[in-house]
Structure 1
Amino acid sequence: MRKYKVIVAHAGQQSSFRRAEALKKGGLLYRYITTVYVKKGYLGWLKVFRVISHKEYERMTLRNCPVLEDTEVIQFDILPNLMLILINRVPKLKNLYVRTNIRLSKKFARKVARYASRENVNALIMMGAAPAKAFDELQNNNIIKVFDMTSIAYNYQSMIMERMAKKMPEEWRRHISVTSDDNIICELMENISKADHIICTSEFAKSSLIANNIDEKRIHVISYGLEQNKKSHNIGKPGKLSLLYVGSVSCEKGLYFLLEAVKRINSEEIELVLVGKNYIDDKLLEPYKKWCNFIGDIPHTQVENYYLNADVFILPTLFDSFGRVVSEAMSYGIPIISTSNAGAADYIKNGENGFVIPAGDIDSMVEKIRYFLLNRDEVKIMGKKAQTTAESHTWEQYEVEYAEEMRRIIENG
């Protein structure tokens, strides 16, 4: 089998580790390029973050990929990006963070382009901000430019929210927070247009690209693996039907429609548990407290207790390129109610391991919740099928598929 050289570059988050792992196992990875990364021989400086905050220390320990050797990781602009991480933790400095992030991302992209050109690699996979800058500055036209897009197109988000906002009361609309900045939208579209190929996580993400007239031949859907879990679960227990939502309590996640559905059912036999940071005025949530238990933002290690005691998981999102919480819920053997605007809906088979409903459709949500309320045996039956689905779509399969798809991209040009 012919050997190829592929670079994965991402200035920020750890989601790119999966890509680098996949390519290494597939014999394609040349280098992984990032900014802040904890190499095995440099764990001592993490003590600085322990002084600042134990939570920050825990976050920083995750900036390491055990599969990669330190020699396979290239770092640029470490100190400025460390400062950027700290700025991002201060809400009042949000504008400073945005401006600084854009500047540092472009600087990072230029350095990646120079390195990739010098090393004469076969393909460059860019993630995060400013891929277009890297693609523009490549000095070797033979390098295949790949944009791995973890979101959906921003203008598609705006279009969805504009339509959904009309279904919400005015006081809820004030809390809508979606990217509508023309400069940011144009920048993402430039990233897409400058790439030879775009990798996305779901059919829903793909549809946002097709809506922007992107040639379908340039789009490659590689769905994430699903989480694996073997813990026993108290599903189908006597008592109230426990509905669980995990994620931010926000307009974008469709919480208005979920809360209205529970209110409309108005049953003492159900309880909705909401786990996640609240971005909505508490006064707007007050009318729903009769049926809901608002847990708030808690460490991820504590979320497991709520999965273990849930009967049905609901993701009412208005847009999500994937929706990892669906994956987590399925791994615990919980049946799903999700909107079609979640990428993870690709894994849901109606009436087998859950239900897929239109986004913003309160009537459909009420119907499916009532179905589980009136058919409690189906909770356990569909839950087992959900867990089987998770077990049959592993991260190992994702890694194999990712490497194979990249090999096809290189060989087909």
Structure 2
Amino acid sequence: MKILLNHPTGNEFVRAAAKGLLDAEMLHEFHTALAVFPNTFLDRLSDMKPLADIRRRGYETALQPYTHLWPWREVGRLVSGKLGLNHLVRHEKGVFSVDGVYQNLDKHIASRLKATAGSDIQGVYAYEDGAANSFREARKRKISCLYDLPIGYWRAARRLLGTELLTRPEWAATLTGFIDSDEKLAQKDEELRLADQVFVASSFTAKTLQDFPGKLAPVQVIPYGFPPIVKERSYRSPVNRPLKLLFVGGLSQRKGVANLFEAVETFGNRVELTVVGKKAVPDCEALNQALTRHRWIPTLSHPDILALMKTQDVLIFPSLFEGFGLVITEAMSQGTPVITTDRTAGPDLIQSGENGWLIQAGVTQALIEAIDQLLLHPERIQQVGKAARDAARLRPWQRYGQELATAIQTLNS
């Protein structure tokens, strides 16, 4: 099956999907907004400090002949963000909003399918919020619609997170998923209805689709891969120093940050919390106050995040609603054990007590007890951290790409 793959912004799992399809000789075209290939103009531009962020859009040279770029909306989004032109990137409405970037690429794919009638494209692989137009056109041409849902289904999110609006109103502003318009939510549902196959990266995401009210295509879980494991990792016992706790992610109550701050408060100077991530909103007073009491780093490059993880005792990722949680695999690859919840990819990757710890989402006391056990038994950090690294060794990103390509091939057999 020849696949047209598209994703506007690209990331690690898109790169792995593209490479997996390419290696299986299944990639017909890859469409994205920006892609940086070695020794190209964009690659040289990324050497300039103000433009260094575009290195995150790097792809292997082998993908270059298959890649089609639609850059202008995404360039506008990036520039508007740098210049503080917030009205241009306003949620859903701004001409350079994330939604605008996704929908623009989706429309280009639909036009591409119209123009390539009779070509050997047999499947369109698209992601949430960027599939409706291309899937409609693909359906007309009897092309398979392959849908990737990177985060849990929206109706389940509202059901599971709705209580947070009542119990923690001071954090409500950070739950930005509740501001999506009815039109955007209807589009999400239409994408699911049009899909012939749905791919998700965690059992939790698959479970959230039980809230979908219509007829649902088959759902397949293929967990993402791990970064290359660290070759050397030293562990220093926290007996005579604070336990070093790390959180990496968007600063929203969807990630359980209120639970994290509440838990850490109970331990005083026995623990030291470092928080890496951007605020979901600038004006949440509860969040702003909490950050003053801890070490906060708004942004770090990916290599710097991995380097920081190596210096920490444990990553805490207490998310209340997560499609996967790439920081889990990143920490494990660095030999840093992870405490995470049952609403992430944790249950797919972690045997609790062996190569990490699983707790119930939204229960601060469970997080307190997990931290307390590490203070009582600090030797477990090294034991579990090494087991986490061993688990990471078994599932590199290449394996995710291979499994995805095999699953798509099976659909056509």
On whether the aligned pair clears a TM of 0.5, the verdict is yes
**Structure 2 CA distance for partners of 1:220 and 1:292, relative to 1, 3 Å:** same
The answer to whether residue 322 in structure 2 is matched with residue 320 in structure 1 is: yes
**Structure 2 CA distance for partners of 1:67 and 1:369, relative to 1, 3 Å:** same
Tell me how far apart the structure 2 counterparts of residues 80 and 351 of structure 1 sit (CA, whole Å). Answer: 46
Partner of 1:29: 27
Partner of 2:209: 209
1:69-88 alignment runs, 5 A limit: 69-75=63-69, 77-88=70-81
**Alignment partner of 1:310 out of 308, 312, 330:** 312
CA offsets 1:137-193 (integer angstroms, 9 cap, x no match): 13754321111222222222222221233332x322233322442211111111111
Partner of 1:94: 89
Contact 1:278–1:297 at 8 Å: present in 2 too?
A: no
1:2-81 alignment runs, 5 A limit: 4-14=1-11, 15-38=13-36, 43-44=40-41, 54-56=49-51, 58-75=52-69, 77-81=70-74
The answer to whether residue 256 in structure 2 is matched with residue 254 in structure 1 is: yes
**Structure 2 CA distance for partners of 1:206 and 1:289, relative to 1, 3 Å:** closer
Deviation at 1:17, TM superposition (A): 2.3
The answer to whether residue 117 in structure 2 is matched with residue 120 in structure 1 is: no
Structure 1 stretch 312-321 or stretch 339-348: which is displaced more? 339-348
Contact 1:10–1:34 at 8 Å: present in 2 too?
A: yes
1:362-377 alignment runs, 5 A limit: 362-377=364-379
Deviation at 1:214, TM superposition (A): 6.2
CA RMSD of aligned residues (A): 2.7
Partner of 1:174: 173
Deviation at 1:86, TM superposition (A): 2.6
Deviation at 1:34, TM superposition (A): 2.7
1:154-173 alignment runs, 5 A limit: 154-168=154-168, 170-173=169-172
**Structure 2 CA distance for partners of 1:72 and 1:172, relative to 1, 3 Å:** closer
Deviation at 1:290, TM superposition (A): 9.1
1:261-300 alignment runs, 5 A limit: 261-263=263-265, 265-279=266-280, 281=283, 283-285=285-287, 292-300=294-302
Deviation at 1:345, TM superposition (A): 3.6
Aligned-partner SS, 1:12: coil
**Structure 2 CA distance for partners of 1:291 and 1:309, relative to 1, 3 Å:** farther
Deviation at 1:123, TM superposition (A): 1.6
CA offsets 1:268-315 (integer angstroms, 9 cap, x no match): 321122122234657535765797333333333333343122111100
Identity across matched positions, percent: 22
**Structure 2 CA distance for partners of 1:215 and 1:116, relative to 1, 3 Å:** farther
Deviation at 1:215, TM superposition (A): 5.8
**Structure 2 CA distance for partners of 1:374 and 1:267, relative to 1, 3 Å:** farther
Deviation at 1:365, TM superposition (A): 0.6
Contact 1:110–1:134 at 8 Å: present in 2 too?
A: yes
**Structure 2 CA distance for partners of 1:352 and 1:236, relative to 1, 3 Å:** farther
Contact 1:40–1:70 at 8 Å: present in 2 too?
A: no
Structure 1 stretch 287-296 or stretch 131-140: which is displaced more? 287-296
Tell me how far apart the structure 1 counterparts of residues 102 and 56 of structure 2 sit (CA, whole Å). Answer: 23
TM-score normalized with structure 2 length: 0.87
Q: Which runs of 5+ in 1 are unaligned?
A: none
Look up the equivalent residue of 1:54 and give its one-letter code.
K
Partner of 1:335: 337
**Structure 2 CA distance for partners of 1:126 and 1:112, relative to 1, 3 Å:** farther
Tell me how far apart the structure 2 counterparts of residues 287 and 71 of structure 1 sit (CA, whole Å). Answer: 50
Tell me how far apart the structure 2 counterparts of residues 332 and 45 of structure 1 sit (CA, whole Å). Answer: 30
Look up the equivalent residue of 1:260 and give its one-letter code.
E
Look up the equivalent residue of 2:161 and give its one-letter code.
M
CA offsets 1:107-138 (integer angstroms, 9 cap, x no match): 22322322554413222212353312112113
The answer to whether residue 197 in structure 2 is matched with residue 197 in structure 1 is: yes
Aligned-partner SS, 1:125: strand
Tell me how far apart the structure 2 counterparts of residues 283 and 383 of structure 1 sit (CA, whole Å). Answer: 35
TM-score normalized with structure 1 length: 0.87
**Structure 2 CA distance for partners of 1:19 and 1:365, relative to 1, 3 Å:** same
Tell me how far apart the structure 2 counterparts of residues 31 and 117 of structure 1 sit (CA, whole Å). Answer: 15
Tell me how far apart the structure 1 counterparts of residues 327 and 58 of structure 2 sit (CA, whole Å). Answer: 23
Contact 1:154–1:185 at 8 Å: present in 2 too?
A: yes
**Structure 2 CA distance for partners of 1:102 and 1:347, relative to 1, 3 Å:** closer
Aligned-partner SS, 2:254: coil
Tell me how far apart the structure 2 counterparts of residues 7 and 121 of structure 1 sit (CA, whole Å). Answer: 7
**Structure 2 CA distance for partners of 1:175 and 1:407, relative to 1, 3 Å:** closer
Look up the equivalent residue of 1:126 and give its one-letter code.
A
> How many residues are paired up?
401
Contact 2:30–2:68 at 8 Å: present in 1 too?
A: yes
Q: Which runs of 5+ in 2 are unaligned?
A: none
Tell me how far apart the structure 2 counterparts of residues 293 and 320 of structure 1 sit (CA, whole Å). Answer: 24
**Structure 2 CA distance for partners of 1:109 and 1:230, relative to 1, 3 Å:** same
Partner of 2:355: 353
**Structure 2 CA distance for partners of 1:115 and 1:379, relative to 1, 3 Å:** farther
Tell me how far apart the structure 2 counterparts of residues 44 and 289 of structure 1 sit (CA, whole Å). Answer: 40
Tell me how far apart the structure 2 counterparts of residues 282 and 165 of structure 1 sit (CA, whole Å). Answer: 13
Contact 2:103–2:130 at 8 Å: present in 1 too?
A: no
